[in-house]
Amino acid sequence: MMTIFMERISAQRNHISSKEIIGLSLGFVGLIVLVNPSSDALNTTLLGLLAIVLAALCFALALILMAKIPKEISPLRATRFILSLYALPLVAVWFYFNIDSIPTDKAAWGSLLLLGLFASGIVYLLYLTLIRMAGASFTALSNFLVPVVGTFLGVYFYHDPLSINVLLALVLIVGGLLLIKPSRT
């Protein structure tokens, strides 16, 4: 939702269409139906809520800035640059706090490499490709599918029960995404 607002403001298009509002609402309600929060899950601190809003703001800003990368730069080169830019300060902070304990375990380095390659590298490559195809707003909205896919993986691999909540959530989320079709540019 934050991405749509920020994208509209940065593009001087200050209105959100009624289809976008309905689609966003359907997707959000679908997430609530999927997660079905208990009253305990809704008890959060102000600092926790602020952290969530700040994370959403950072994610929205990252997607909007990725949309501004010139198309002449290949997605692979852009992804490599973005991840390097993110990694340098993190490595500096890590060395500052852990200079005496550099891991020598090959499994730890292998895990770090796999996480970097799959959880960051390929994901950012896909993000940039989707942003170029459908825009930052649609890319952000596609994240509504992550909990649904995770739920179905749990049903398939761990034999979690497939409840009516999961099916209803899928219909709401996919329906919301279909209402907000990407515009071809």
- Position 113 in a domain: yes
3-state secondary structure of 27: helix
- Number of domains into which the chain is organized: 1
Handedness of CA 24, 29, 32, 34 (dihedral sign): negative
- Position 158 in a domain: yes
Q: What is the pLDDT of residues 3-21, one digit of tens each?
A: 776 776 666 555 677 887 8
- Residues 152-157: contacts with CB under 8 Å, at least 24 apart: none
Mean pLDDT throughout 153-171? 86
**Burial letters 48-68, b for 16+ CB under 10 A, else e:** eeeeeeeeeeeebebbbebbe
**Looking at residue 158, what is its pLDDT?**
93
**Looking at residue 39, what is its pLDDT?**
45
pLDDT at 83 over 80: yes
pLDDT at 131 over 80: yes
- Percent of the chain that is helix, strand, coil (3-state, to 5): 75, 0, 25
Stronger pLDDT, 135 or 12, i.e. the higher one: 135
Would you place residue 185 in the very low, low, confident or very high pLDDT band (cuts 50, 70, 90)? very low
Full-prediction pTM beyond 0.85? no
- Position 185 in a domain: no
The share of the chain scoring above pLDDT 90, in percent, equals 7
- Position 89 in a domain: yes
- Position 25 in a domain: yes
- Position 184 in a domain: no
- Position 48 in a domain: yes
pLDDT at 91 over 90: no
Mean pLDDT throughout 53-63? 83
The residue segments making up the domain with residue 57 are: 2-179
Mean pLDDT throughout 32-53? 65
Would you say how long the chain is, in residues?
Answer: 185
pLDDT at 88 over 60: yes
